[in-house]
Every structure is written in structure tokens, then in C-alpha cells.
Amino acid sequence: MESARERFYFANTMLCLLKAIEGQSTTVELRDEKEVSGKIIKVDGYMNITMANVTLKTRECSRSFERFFVNGRTVRYVHIPDEVDMRAAMEGYLQRSNQSAAAERVKQDIKDAAWHKMAMKEKQREHRMKKENK
């Protein structure tokens, strides 16, 4: 579950583009001159990236990992795949996230209305019981 701060970052920075390409393969360049290539599994609001089927390339060698975690502070650059329309990806992600937030608000409103209705029925029942006892 994302915090309010993470949702803010997704909605107000280019981070939404990185979130939009979850599930795709790409290359992430790190500050220490390393490259990580693989499939993006998860991105959080602090640009931490979890990847799968990764190849880590350094100047000296290349190593493979089944899963790999990239700390957001170490990211220099993320290669966006050529087939991704960046504007459409960002707009699509933001629209989906706004719809899901709106859906959550509607669900909560429905729950609140149901609780209110139950409370009103309980008050009416108690009122009837008092009248009958008099």
C-alpha cells in the first residue's frame, strides 16, 4: 500500500512514467557506473525499483540475478523502451490512479451510508420499544 507521500510523488513528478512501465524490460543506469537490465516488477514512491531476470554490468564483469533491488538514491537514468509513448503512458497511469482513488472514496461513502442507515434503524427500534413499554 502506498503512503500519501508516495501517491503525491507519483502524481506530481516524472515517477508516474516509471510506474507506468512496470512489467516491461529496460535498463537502469546507476550512479556508480553500473547498469542493471531486466524486467521492472515494482516501483515505489521513492524510486526504489524491484526487478526480475536481471543482468548487472560493471566495467569488469557481468552477473545475473533472479531478483534485484535498486535503491532509488543510486539511480542515475532509466531507459524508457522505444515502443512506449511516454505522454500516453503517464496520462494513462494518472487516469487509472485517479479512478481507483475515486472508486475507493465511493466505496467508503457507501460503507458510511450503510452504517448511518443501520444506526437510524436501531434508534427507531429503540424509540418503538420505549413507546411499547409505556
DSSP 5-25: HHHHHHHHSTHHHHHHTTTSE
Domain boundaries, the chain: 4-133
79-105 residue pLDDT tens: 998 898 888 888 888 787 775 665 566
DSSP classification of residue 30:
E
pLDDT at 38: 98
Domain 4-133, CATH 2.30.30.100 — does that match?
Answer: yes
> Rounded to an integer, what distance in angstroms lies between the CA atom of residue 12 and that of residue 9?
5
> Cα–Cα distances in Å, from 89 out to 13, 34, 59, 101?
14, 27, 33, 18
This prediction has a pTM of 0.68
Q: Which of 37-41, 46-50, 51-55, 105-109 has the lowest mean pLDDT?
A: 105-109
Residue 26 grid coordinates: 529496460
